[in-house]
């Protein structure tokens, strides 16, 4: 973005990147699986579920809303197949989170609970908007509780076992002691420069 | 000719007895003996070599699901012996993964879950860092130094700064004729170069600042009600109060009564 | 001291030891047909024959009769579209002879996978053809109407 603010002077001429204007945002508060309301465009006022988040452009895709029809695979013989493609929406300006208390759009704020947990809070009603479980999925599991242990995994009880006891020795000295290797020779002096 | 080569060979052999070949003094002189996972020596066939391959159930699957890598705080509570054993488990796992990847690449087939290599690598890096931490603590307590390879910031021959890493020598520097100082420069000789170099850096910074200021101006034009605190945090050099009053930051709107 | 810094040796010094070896080894298929007791490895170029022998004997408990290794140059090729040159890293190829009486056969990994893959592809094709049949059945009465135009 910044490196190519002047497209004409861009050193790598093969790739042309237009200048992108990103509104700086303090803290990200839109996640996959959130219910949002659309504030502008043909689908204004409709509510939907966030299907994709593109943080680099402050964009959000809403499932089945704000779509454009697109013709794919059109040839002289075949008229092509028409699909509807979701168009990105700018967060906070074209889209807003929905408060679960009254199902209306609100601004949100990050606050701490008494237990020290960080939560999203609706600006209008003060109700907590929980982050959906869908946002917590990783490549390895859908949710932490449903993860199935593989035979090569170390078990939780094995990991939490404390076997370290501090001794006045380096790692190498300790291993040599436990392996029964004795070394009485003293290394000669060397110089570091 | 023959005689000469024979003599040279003798000399080389003699040298070899004096100076130990560094690598010859065993990698893994200290492979863990008490590890239950290491099988007994394979007498009849290739049980040891089959450890280079994954278990047979994973040959035909499209995906192998495994957990995450070891973290530093988990490794810190383990004894040195445990870490030593774990290192060899990880080493074998990495060899196995590399072997499988090579075989799959040769057969033009996708390698299942290649992120396993990264997980093992991350665990090994963490383990080594924990071991270094412990050794550093010992040396600081005993000698007052970290025991790491010493280094310092030095000036090179053209007057630029770099981090000089010292190396180990048998002979002190004043008696070492083969070693010469790579750092240190004549200030007067490099003065002109330093001047131009510093000017280039300074101009670069100035250009970046101006570029950022213009970018902020255009941001104001597009988003008149943006969050100024976040903007200032992203562009700390830019004077927002000044930029806001510029003509380019005012936006382009149609008059209402038209 | 870092575990990766190897101290220099002087006469009378304690024996130099590596506690956390960082070498990797790949067991690979031989390029040409070899006797049954010969195994081919790819290792980093820094490894010596002694290292390879010790590595296999101490860590993998494999008996090794002899090691022959040489450094091979990585493949140099041209990038297809931009045309710049790519060089793959150099490696050391080690041919290891097992002691008499021991043999090693490289396991057949890919053929088993191919069988399974063929089954999966067939299953996928069957499902696709079934769904197409269903689509044809649905649109039997209205020829020429595009597929997306349906209730």
Among A60-69, C98-107, C132-141, the range scoring the smallest mean pLDDT is: C132-141
Q: Is residue A174 part of a domain?
A: no
* Interface-testing mutation among B61, B89, B138, with chain A (most A C-beta atoms within 10 A): B138
Read off φ and ψ for residue C143, nearest 5 degrees. -70, 145
Q: Are residues B228 and B202 in the same domain?
A: yes
The residue range of the domain holding B181 is: 149-185
Regarding whether B69 and B35 lie in a shared domain, the answer is yes
Give, in degrees to the nearest 5, the angle at Cα A151 between A145 and A155: 55
B30: nearest CB among A147, A148, A179? A179
State the smallest CA–CA distance between residue C76 and chain B in angstroms.
17
Q: Do C14 and A188 touch (CB under 8 A)?
A: no
Give the percent of chain A with pLDDT over 70. Answer: 92
- Residues from chain A that touch C19, judged by Cβ atoms under 8 A, are 171-172, 175
Give yes or no for residue A161 having a pLDDT over 50: yes
What CATH number does the domain containing A128 carry?
A: 2.30.30.30
Strand order in the sheet with A104-106: A89-90, A59-62, A47-54, A35-38, A95-99, A104-106
Q: Are residues B36 and B133 in the same domain?
A: yes
Minimal Cβ distance to A185: which of C7, C12, C19: C12
Q: How far is C123 from chain B (nearest CA, A)?
A: 15
B55 and B136 together in one domain: yes
The answer to whether residues B172 and B195 belong to one domain is no
Instruction: Yes or no: say if A53 and A32 are a contact pair by the CB < 8 Å rule.
Output: yes
Task: List the single best residue of B15, B20, B21, B23 to mutate versus C (max C Cβ within 10 A).
Answer: B23
Overall average pLDDT of the A45-56 stretch: 96
Does any domain span residue A68? yes
How close does chain C come to A170, measured CA to CA in Å? 10
Residue of A nearest to B209 (CA): A2
In tens digits, what is the pLDDT along chain B, a chain of 258 residues? 344 333 333 333 332 222 222 333 333 333 344 444 544 444 445 788 999 999 988 888 888 889 999 999 999 999 999 999 999 999 999 999 999 999 999 988 889 999 999 999 999 999 999 999 999 999 999 999 998 999 999 999 998 999 999 999 999 999 998 888 788 889 899 999 999 999 999 999 999 999 999 999 999 999 999 999 999 999 999 999 999 999 999 987 777 666
Cβ within 8 Å, pair C19-A175: yes
Question: B61 and B162: one domain?
Answer: no
Backbone angles phi and psi of B6, in degrees to 5: -65, -40
Q: Looking at the domain assignment, is residue A26 inside a domain?
A: yes
Asked which of B185, B211, B238 is the last residue of a domain, the reply is B185
d(CA B200, CA B192): 12
Q: Are residues B59 and B112 in the same domain?
A: yes
Query: Same structural domain for residues B79 and B139?
Result: yes
* Cα nearest neighbour of A84 on chain C: C148
Partners of residue A190 in chain B, C-beta under 8 Å: 168-170
Domain assignment present for A161? no
The answer to whether A79 contacts chain C (CB < 8 Å) is: yes
- Backbone conformation region of residue B144, classed left if phi is above 0, alpha if psi is from -120 to 50, else beta: left
ipTM of the shown complex: 0.80
The verdict on residue B26 lying in a domain is no
**Most C CBs within 10 Å, among B28, B37, B105, to test the C interface:** B28
Q: What is the pLDDT of residues A97-138, one digit of tens each?
A: 999 999 999 999 999 999 999 999 999 999 999 999 999 998
Q: Does the residue A188 lie in any domain?
A: no
* Closest CB to C14 among A81, A82, A185: A185
Name the band, by pLDDT with cuts 50, 70 and 90, for residue A13. Answer: low
B58 and B144, same domain (yes or no): yes
Residue listed under structure tokens 């029809």: A69
Q: For an interface test with C, which of A83, A188, A189, A193 has the most C Cβ atoms less than 10 Å from its Cβ? A: A188
Chains touching chain A through at least 3 C-beta pairs below 8 angstroms are: B, C
User: Which residues in chain B have their CB less than 8 angstroms from residue C56's CB?
Assistant: 48
User: Is the per-residue pLDDT at C151 higher than 80?
Assistant: no
pLDDT for position C6:
81
Domain extent at residue A109: 20-137
Same domain (yes/no): B133, B51: yes
- B100 and B142 fall within a common domain: yes
CA C12 to chain A, closest CA, distance in angstroms equals 7
Arithmetic mean of pLDDT, A16-26: 88
Name which of B77, B169, B172 is nearest A162 (Cβ-Cβ): B77
Identify which of A172, A185, A186 has the shortest CB distance to residue C19: A172
Q: Give the number of beta-carbon pairs within 8 Å between A and C.
A: 30
Of A171, A181, A185, Cβ closest to residue C13: A185
Residue A149 counted as domain residue:
no
> What local confidence, expressed as pLDDT, does residue B45 receive?
58
Instruction: Return mean pLDDT, chain A.
Output: 90
Higher pLDDT, C4 or C62: C62
Indicate the number of domains in chain A.
1
Count of CB contacts below 8 A, A vs B?
109
Do the domain assignments include residue B15? no
Residue by residue, DSSP assigns B85-145 as HHHHHHHHHHHHHHHHHHHHHHTT-PPS-THHHHHHHHHHHHHHHHHHHHHHHHHHHHHSS
d(CA B155, CA B162): 6
pLDDT at B57: 87
In this structure, the answer to whether residues B53 and B138 fall within a common structural domain is yes
- Please, which chains are in contact with B (at least 3 CB pairs closer than 8 A)? A, C
Whether residue B17 is contained in a domain is answered as no
**How does DSSP assign B128-197, residue by residue?**
HHHHHHHHHHHHHHHHSS--SPPEEEEE-TTS-EEEEEP-EESS-GGG-SS--------HHHHHHHHHHH
Name the domain boundary from B92, B119, B148. B148
Number of domains in chain B: 3
pLDDT, chain C, mean: 89
Nearest-angstrom CA–CA distance, A151 and B50: 18
């Amino acid at each position: 973005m910044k490196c190519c603010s002047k497209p004409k002077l861009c050193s790598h001429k093969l790739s042309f990147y237009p200048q992108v204007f990103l509104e700086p945002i303090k803290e990200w508060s839109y996640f996959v699986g959130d219910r949002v309301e659309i504030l502008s465009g043909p689908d204004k006022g409709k509510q939907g579920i966030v299907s994709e988040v593109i943080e680099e452009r402050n964009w959000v895709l809403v499932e089945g809303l704000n779509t454009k029809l697109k013709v794919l695979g059109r040839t002289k013989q075949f008229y092509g197949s028409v699909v509807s493609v979701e168009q990105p929406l700018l967060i906070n300006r074209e889209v807003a989170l929905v408060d679960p208390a009254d199902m209306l759009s609100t601004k949100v704020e990050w606050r701490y609970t008494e237990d020290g947990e960080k939560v999203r809070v609706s600006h209008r009603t003060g109700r907590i908007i929980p982050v959906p479980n869908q946002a917590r999925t990783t490549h390895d599991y859908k949710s932490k509780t449903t993860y199935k242990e593989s035979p090569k995994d170390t078990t939780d009880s094995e990991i939490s076992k404390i076997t370290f006891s501090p001794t006045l020795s380096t790692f190498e000295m300790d291993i040599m002691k436990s392996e029964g290797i004795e070394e009485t020779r003293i290394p000669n002096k060397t110089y570091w420069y | 000719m023959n005689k000469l080569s024979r003599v040279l060979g003798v000399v080389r052999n003699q040298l070899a007895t004096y100076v130990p070949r560094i690598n010859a003094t065993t990698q893994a002189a200290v492979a863990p003996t008490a590890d239950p996972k290491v099988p007994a020596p394979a007498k009849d066939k290739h049980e040891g070599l089959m450890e280079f391959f994954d278990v047979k159930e994973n040959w035909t699957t499209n995906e192998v699901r495994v957990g995450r890598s070891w973290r530093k705080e988990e490794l810190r509570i383990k004894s040195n012996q445990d870490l030593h054993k774990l290192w060899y488990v990880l080493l074998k796992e990495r060899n196995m993964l590399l072997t499988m990847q090579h075989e799959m690449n040769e057969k033009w087939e996708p390698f299942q879950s290649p992120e396993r290599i990264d997980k093992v690598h991350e665990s090994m890096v963490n383990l080594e860092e924990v071991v270094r931490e412990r050794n550093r603590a010992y040396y600081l307590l005993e000698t007052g130094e970290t025991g790491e390879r010493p280094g310092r910031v030095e000036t090179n021959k053209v007057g630029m700064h770099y981090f000089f890493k010292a190396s180990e020598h048998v002979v002190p520097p004043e008696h070492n004729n083969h070693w010469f100082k790579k750092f240190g420069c004549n200030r007067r000789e490099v003065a002109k170069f330093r001047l131009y170099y510093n000017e280039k850096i300074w101009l670069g910074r100035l250009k970046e600042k101006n570029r950022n200021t213009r970018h902020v101006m255009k941001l104001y034009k597009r988003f008149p009600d943006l969050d100024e605190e976040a903007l200032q945090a992203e562009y700390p050099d830019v004077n927002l109060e000044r930029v806001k009053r510029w003509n380019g930051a005012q936006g382009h709107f149609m008059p209402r009564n038209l | 001291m870092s575990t990766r810094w190897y101290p220099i040796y002087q006469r009378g010094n304690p024996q130099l030891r590596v506690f956390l070896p960082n070498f990797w080894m790949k067991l690979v298929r031989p390029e040409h047909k070899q006797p049954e007791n010969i195994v081919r490895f790819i290792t980093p170029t820094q490894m010596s024959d002694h290292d390879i022998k010790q590595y296999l004997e101490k860590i993998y408990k494999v008996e090794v009769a002899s090691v022959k290794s040489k450094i091979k140059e990585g493949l140099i090729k041209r990038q297809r579209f931009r045309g710049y040159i790519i060089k793959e890293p150099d490696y050391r190829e080690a041919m290891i002879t097992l002691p008499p009486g021991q043999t090693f056969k490289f396991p057949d990994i890919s053929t088993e996978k191919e069988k399974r893959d063929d089954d999966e592809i067939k299953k996928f094709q069957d499902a696709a053809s079934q769904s197409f049949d269903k689509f044809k059945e649905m649109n039997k009465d209205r020829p020429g109407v595009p597929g997306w135009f349906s209730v």
